[in-house]
Amino acid sequence: MERQFQIGLAGFGLVAAVLAAAGQEPRPAKPAEPAAQLVKLASVSTADRRAIDYRALDLRLRRMAEQPSVVGLAVGVVENGRITFLGGYGETLAGSGEKVTPDTVFRWASVSKGVAGTIVAKLAEQHKLDLTAPVARVAPSLKLPGGNEHRATLADVLSHRLGLYRNAYDDKLEAGESPASIRRNLASLASLCAPGTCWSYQNIAFDAASEAVAVATNLPYEEAVARILFRPLGMSSATMSRAGLKRAQSWARPHSVGRRPLELSDAYYRVPAAGGVNSNIKDLALWMIAQTGGMPGVLGKDLLEQIHAPLVATPNELRRLRKFRERLDQPFYGLGWRSYLYAGHRIVGHRGGVNGYRSLILFDPARRSGVVAMWNSNTSQPGGLEFEVMDMLYGLPFRDWMELDSKPAAPAPVVAAADEEPNSGGEARN
């Protein structure tokens, strides 16, 4: 990171020389987040540990890694805007002996949706996109029933308010059809409601956001996100393709609940706004720091409030989250982000799942604290981790949310869609 910064300064010196020769004054471009600050934020700060019992957490995670349905697990905790814990447990491939470390790269799956909401809002802030304009203007491949693409907005796309049935045509994507072709065929469906009036989780329609970003920036979505978000935030391991995952020095292979290795599918890489991001746990923790206001040079306060704002109520989620009902209330969806009240505290997050991988991010923006995790099997059991960490953060009584000391529920079915698990509040398909 420091070397990259030095190269950047050298590059500026060359530009300055050229401009001086032309009789012009150079205009230095100050980095959004100085390299020294990025290095600091990427390091683990034990001095900022306050509320979390890290010894107890580590013991719980070691026990989780021993569960028969778990292969590998990576976890990060942020307190007070600093990374206070990074841990890797288990293996990248069952039986291989290759250990998961904080440098091991996993898939984000639907946690990627927060990236889409963030970059679109960033481009809107720069007046390159309009969240309130008809989506037909910026994503021409999206066709909705009754010509609703001329009424639905980009904000409706990012908040799943398009009037389509849930996970519309995900099966066609998994069968190999192109996303642009599938989006055009969405017009043949019956509409559940007028755009903006009801909520139903999407992947292919949601990925119209990647088309809008590509049109606005004249760059492929992956490169636009890298330039505008990942590089300025210091997320050096983050990529958005199957090739990007496989070229990592350490990457986690996908597994079934029974620890059987699975084929690494590229289906949801083809809808990158919905489920395409890969990274190690450190970079996911940096992403959370930025989402809590820790990198204002890249993501400002107004932008964060806009994307996290509760736009549409999702009350049915409480039924799926019933085992956590003691803690959760008022579920909403914003621009690629969920929000809740957790024992009276407003929290923001998302979960994700593609076949063989699961992920989560959950944080309290006011306290600039939260948890991220990724694992490489289809089990939902580690998902209770986020609630155990939040309980510690708020000083609440311990609950065995990971079900290490109680009989766990029946294993969740394999989910092939880039979506969240049933107990996370997502719209997983069997």
Predicted local confidence at residue 406, as pLDDT: 84
For the chain, which residues make up each domain, given as ranges? Answer: 2-30, 49-121+232-424, 127-209
SS (H, E, C) 20-48: HHCCCCCCCCCCCCCHHHHHHHHCCCHHH
pTM here is: 0.90
Phi (first) and psi of residue 194, to 5 degrees: -70, 145
CATH no. of 49-121+232-424: 3.40.710.10
DSSP character at residue 413: P
What is the model's pLDDT at position 34? 83
- According to DSSP, the β-strands at 278-279 and 312-313 are unpaired
**Beta bridge pairs of residue 115:** none
The length of the chain in residues reads 430
User: How far apart are the C-alpha atoms of 207 and 164, rounded to whole Å?
Assistant: 14
Q: Describe the chain by its helix, strand, coil percentages, rounded to 5.
A: 40, 15, 45
Q: What is the pLDDT of residue 4?
A: 34
SS3 388: helix
Cα dihedral 158, 352, 56, 291, rounded to 10, equals -20
Would you write out the chain's pLDDT as a tens digit for each of its 430 residues? Answer: 333 333 333 333 333 333 333 344 434 444 467 889 999 999 999 999 999 999 999 999 999 999 999 999 999 999 999 999 999 999 999 999 999 999 999 999 999 999 999 999 999 999 999 999 999 999 999 999 999 999 999 999 999 999 999 999 999 999 999 999 999 999 999 999 999 999 999 999 999 999 999 999 999 999 999 999 999 999 999 999 999 999 999 999 999 999 999 999 999 999 999 999 999 999 999 999 999 999 999 999 999 999 999 999 999 999 888 999 999 999 999 999 999 999 999 999 999 999 999 999 999 999 999 999 999 999 999 999 999 999 999 999 999 999 999 865 454 444 444 444 433 334 344 3
Neighbours of 130 (CB within 10 A): 17
Residue 61's nearest CA partner among 423, 375, 422 is 375
Q: Where are the beta strands (DSSP E) in 262-327?
A: 278-279, 312-313
The neighbouring-strand residues paired with 79 are 82
Q: Is there a contact between 317 and 140 (Cβ–Cβ < 8 Å)?
A: no
